[in-house]
A and B are shown apart, each in its own frame.
Chain A
């Protein structure tokens, strides 16, 4: 079922708005959620459709609250959330087709991974007897299925929760920071799994505060900050926004003064300052890519040895600050 706007002009607006999916299964309309004086979500409108959508934002941006509102764990104070046209707070049938992988490490104590997944399968009325084992196999936990899940590492717990979410074969999958605690190999496997689930036509919503992670996962990204929609669209649009903004790059070299003189002559460099405390240069640039290309050649041609190059503000928070400026 698609999210149907009430009037044709709204339909045209929504079709052109990257915050809204063309064939939405999850619709968030003008939603506000507050906990006492703290506003977690403020008049947020967006929608999610088949495929993987990344929910990006710094800590405290409202990602988890949005996911809890979508799954019905918290009610909204204003606006409404619909999953397949149903209110997840009022209609428990929604949970037939939806699953959440929460960020919390908490898992039921005293249960083996198999019993835990079996419990969730029973709750969802899954009839296939081998479904729990298949779900555990999908996340590579079948070998340890009889070990207690509360004795698992963080990454294994996370995979076990993913298995519990997959066992009911949900059409809408909500994953809150699912890659937390996973090692690099597991990350690659889980990313491939989520992409496959999205390609199968499921609505997969994945939150993260790591842009690179979301980039590898999702075709579409929704950026939240302070509970508001900061940006939406393809990850290229988000990345371009990040590349085009002014940046500060820290450079440490064996001959900082000579390098500073060479750098100020570059078109891509807006300014250079000496950072005495850290023993290097802080280069301000509006064209990070050009600087990254030019810097090694410049150093090599002048026989200057580069000891350290790193972006000082290459965090998501700085991107968000830029987006909401």
Chain B
């Protein structure tokens, strides 16, 4: 057999992983599942209009309690699970793992793919919700808070997907039991919680935030963004370490 070999530059491993994440990890059903909580964010925007308060205060309360504490973690969980945990469970991740690609490239490529999806869905939905609520001045802070919060969550859920196959159960337990319940009482947990820190980002960036939403003892505004960046980096480092030692069984196991 004579084969004419055309030698040329193919995509780099990193770019291939990133594109694969967008093409294969988030199929149409996952997109629909991500868009549902985003639609929920828009409904929260409508709900804010019904609150008997100034538009800005009403939206700030709805954004802190509904959009950033409920909608954002759920949508980010759907994305974060899709880009790695679902593949590990489904038995298709070993096509990626059984390659000479360094594990950090796999983790970073998957996270970037998931982060991009979060940035084009969760963050705009949060900003549009502010506009719907009639608080256009809150749209910027809501966008930034949802963007950094969701990409942090994607990193966290990727790490959880590398540690356990029950990604959804553990992720929900961490969000609602550890962050919401313990984080409400313990400042130490709130300081590393994507929910509390994204709330603090949002509140810190508002011109005149409602005093009840300001939580003392945790960074606010851009300082909270830096804190979330650190949480993201640590989550990705844990994911990278775990990925080197992961046991991959088949879908049938």
User: Which of A's residues lie within 8 Å of B, judged by CB?
Assistant: 64, 68, 71-75, 89, 92-93, 95-96, 98-100, 102-111, 115-116, 118-131, 134, 164
Contact = CB atoms under 8 A, between A and B. Distances in A.
Interface in B74-106: 87, 90-92, 94-103
B120 interface: no
A205 to B, nearest CB: 14
B24 to A, nearest CB: 4
Contact of A128 (B6, B11, B97, B101): B6
B100 A93 contact: yes
Given A73-B248, A119-B20, A129 B103 contact: no
Contact of B23 (A110, A123, A131): A110
B4 interface: yes
B95 A164 contact: yes
Given A111-B24, A119-B20, A124-B100, A106 B10 contact: no
B94 A108 contact: no
A92 B7 CA distance: 25
B188 interface: no
B17 interface: yes
A128 B247 contact: no
A122 B13 contact: yes
Contacts, number: 108
B89 to A, nearest CB: 10
Contacts of B103: 92
Contacts of A128: 5-7
Contacts of A126: 10
A75 B245 contact: yes
Contacts of A107: 92
A98 B98 CA distance: 8
A99 B5 CA distance: 21
Interface in B201-253: 245, 247-252
A104 B251 contact: yes
B249 A74 contact: yes
Nearest to B24: A108
Nearest to B29: A109
Contacts of B28: 110
Interface in B1-56: 3-13, 15-17, 20, 23-24, 27-28
B interface residue count range (under 10 / 10 to 19 / 20 to 34 / 35 or more): 35 or more
Given A102-B94, A104-B250, A123 B10 contact: no
Contact of A121 (B7, B10, B250): B10
B100 A134 contact: no
Given A104-B251, A106-B90, 13 more contacts: A73-B97, A92-B103, A96-B100, A102-B250, A106-B92, A108-B24, A110-B23, A111-B24, A123-B99, A125-B10, A127-B9, A128-B5, A131-B5
A130 B5 contact: yes
Nearest to B86: A109
A149 B51 CA distance: 51
B98 A110 contact: no
B110 to A, nearest CB: 13
Nearest to B5: A128
A164 B17 CA distance: 15
Contact of B250 (A106, A116, A129): A106
B16 A104 contact: no
A164 to B, nearest CB: 7
Nearest to B16: A122
Contact of A95 (B7, B100, B247): B100
Interface in B93-142: 94-103
Contact of A74 (B8, B91, B248): B248
B34 to A, nearest CB: 15
A123 B17 contact: yes
